[in-house]
């Protein structure tokens, strides 16, 4: 136990891999890699920087003295300059060329972009794993009839697999959005104090070609093929808004699926995995609460509301920059990713272990199919010479009687018995039982599942990396 506050994201809701991406070590080591990249490119383009200086920077890139940084920051109240001074103490030969021509946002903004791209790729990997699990589930249960629901009222039958495809389709749309965001991410680049590249023009004697090449070389070092053409001191904060919107989109899909599972678990039709020694309630020992789906919905709401932060931040940036973005971004970006990562880990666990209670599903179908079958009964009776309008009114009246019997008296549904006794329908119980086969009411559900899952194979070909084992902390 600790006397200090500890973020739930580091204790409960995110993986060690995602925490590493947003760790101080990853952030500040990336700063140093950017300074090394800048110095190497400047040396290559003719500035008086030596290999000995580059080697010294390389040798010390992972040797960050955080105590020294804190001491400097306490004195000068500037995080980037504190790291420059601490790095300079470790690299006396290269001290004078660290951060040459750059502004603080050269390291802070470019690092933020690098971190977000790395985190987005991890998010995409986990999201595709969820889709793969659901695809296997959908194919397995593609032709198992189940009650459809509209307004959470029993409706025409679908299949268990067909319903899962509704979830899959939403997540595939999220993959498309992630792909666009990742592919269009650009570094801030090497732009100088207010984005004019004036300092670099001075260093290279107004040679624009060399300034362009300098930026290209730095971007290339970090796997980017381009930088923003235009920036102020920062890259456009609309980038952050776009990135967190893609996380919000995933959260919307996850919340929908989590809610569906919670409803279905209430009906005892589908259940999330439940450990042998898991306790559902401190008082009601028999309970099996859908706690993982509830946690998905809880985290999803946080992610969705958190996405408003960069929207507001982007809208209030002044001219070339203002610093009121800093504290907000430090929180909203990191925690948006950590929450999404934790939510996806739970989704992977649930989708890999969903329990389908087929007998419960069949029971619910038996209870409702007499009502669902009335349209088919009507059509078959008309084929046998009946009057459509008269038959419709008869079915309406008998449905009311049967519904009252079920709701007010707690008895079974006797609609079919009432119909079979009425000669106007020209149908006996055997005729009616043939009409009641659930498989007659699922339409193209099974083939729709097969066709759809086949259509998304390109996602697996591009991004699926194999089964992901997740360790749920709670």
Instruction: Answer yes or no: are the C-beta atoms of 372 and 441 closer than 8 Å.
Output: yes
φ, ψ for residue 230, nearest 5 deg: -125, 130
Please report, for residues 11, 15, 21, 37, 408, the alpha-carbon distance to residue 250 in angstroms, rounded to integers and kept in the order given: 22, 17, 20, 35, 43
CB atoms inside a 10 Å sphere around CB 220: 12
CA distance 312 to 310: 5
- State yes or no: is 199 an active-site residue: no
**Burial category of 88 from C-beta neighbours within 10 Å (exposed 0-12, middle 13-18, buried 19 and up):** middle
Instruction: Answer yes or no: are the C-beta atoms of 35 and 107 closer than 8 Å.
Output: yes
CA distance 260 to 175: 21
Instruction: Answer yes or no: are the C-beta atoms of 300 and 254 closer than 8 Å.
Output: yes
Tell me 424's DSSP state: G
Of 202, 281, 326, 439, catalytic: 281
Nearest C-alpha neighbor of 321 from the set 196, 215, 235, 243: 235
Locus of tokens 């079919």: 416
Crossing angle of helices 445-455/104-140, nearest 10°?
Answer: 150
Distance of CA 227 to the CA centre of its chain: 26
What is the distance in angstroms between the CA of the first residue and the CA of the last residue of the chain? 16
For 201-255, the DSSP string reads HHHTTT-HHHHHHHHHHHHHHTT-S-B-SS-SSS--THHHHHHHHHHHHHHHHHH
3-state secondary structure of 393: helix
C-alpha dihedral sign at 443, 447, 449, 455: negative
Please report, for residues 152, 160, 273, 290, 442, the alpha-carbon distance to residue 142 in angstroms, rounded to integers and kept in the order given: 21, 6, 20, 24, 10
Instruction: Answer yes or no: are the C-beta atoms of 348 and 275 closer than 8 Å.
Output: no
Instruction: Answer yes or no: are the C-beta atoms of 105 and 80 closer than 8 Å.
Output: no
Locus of tokens 């979830």: 167
Crossing angle of helices 104-140/238-266, nearest 10°?
Answer: 30
CA distance 423 to 45: 96
- State yes or no: is 151 an active-site residue: yes
Token pair recorded at residue 433: 């039982």
Catalytic positions, please?
A: 151, 281
């Amino acid at each position: 136990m600790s006397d200090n506050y500890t973020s739930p994201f580091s204790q409960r809701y995110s993986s060690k891999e995602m925490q590493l991406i947003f760790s101080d070590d990853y952030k500040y080591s990336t700063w140093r890699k950017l300074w090394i990249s800048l110095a190497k490119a400047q040396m290559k383009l003719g500035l008086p920087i030596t290999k000995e200086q580059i080697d010294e920077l390389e040798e010390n890139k992972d040797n960050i003295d955080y105590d020294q940084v804190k001491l400097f920051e306490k004195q000068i109240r500037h995080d980037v300059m504190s790291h420059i001074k601490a790095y300079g103490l470790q690299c006396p030969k290269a001290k004078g060329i660290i951060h040459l021509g750059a502004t603080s946002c050269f390291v802070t903004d470019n690092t933020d972009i690098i971190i977000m791209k790395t985190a987005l790729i991890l998010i995409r990997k986990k999201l595709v794993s969820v889709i793969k699990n659901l695809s296997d589930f959908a194919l397995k249960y593609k032709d198992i009839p189940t009650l459809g629901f509209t307004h959470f009222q029993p409706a025409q039958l679908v299949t268990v697999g067909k319903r899962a495809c509704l979830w899959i389709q939403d997540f595939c749309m999220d993959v498309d959005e992630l792909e666009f965001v990742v592919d269009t991410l650009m570094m801030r680049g090497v732009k100088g104090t207010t984005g004019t590249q004036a300092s670099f023009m001075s260093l290279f004697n107004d040679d624009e070609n060399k300034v362009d090449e300098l930026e290209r070389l730095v971007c290339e070092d970090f796997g980017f093929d381009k930088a923003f053409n235009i920036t102020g001191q920062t890259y456009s904060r609309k980038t952050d808004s776009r990135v967190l919107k893609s996380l919000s989109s995933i959260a919307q899909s996850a919340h929908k699926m989590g809610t569906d599972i919670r409803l279905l678990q209430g009906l005892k039709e589908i259940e999330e995995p439940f450990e042998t020694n898991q306790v559902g309630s401190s008082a009601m020992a028999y309970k099996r609460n859908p706690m993982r789906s509830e946690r998905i919905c809880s985290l999803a709401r946080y992610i969705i509301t958190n996405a408003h932060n960069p929207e507001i931040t982007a809208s209030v940036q002044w001219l070339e920059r203002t610093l009121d973005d800093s504290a907000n971004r430090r929180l909203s970006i990191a925690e948006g990713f950590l929450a999404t990562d934790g939510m996806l880990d739970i989704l992977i666990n649930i989708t890999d272990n969903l329990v389908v209670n087929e007998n419960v599903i069949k029971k619910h179908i038996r209870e409702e199919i007499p009502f669902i079958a009335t349209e088919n009964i009507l059509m078959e009776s008309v084929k046998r010479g009946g009057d459509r309008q008269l038959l419709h009114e008869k079915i309406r009246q008998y449905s009311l009687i049967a519904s009252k019997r079920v709701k007010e008296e707690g008895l079974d549904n006797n609609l079919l018995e009432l119909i079979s006794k009425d000669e106007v329908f020209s149908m006996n119980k055997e005729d009616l039982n043939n009409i009641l086969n659930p498989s007659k009411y699922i339409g193209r559900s099974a083939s729709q599942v097969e066709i759809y899952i086949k259509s998304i194979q390109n996602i697996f070909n591009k991004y699926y990396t194999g089964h992901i084992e997740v360790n749920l902390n709670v």
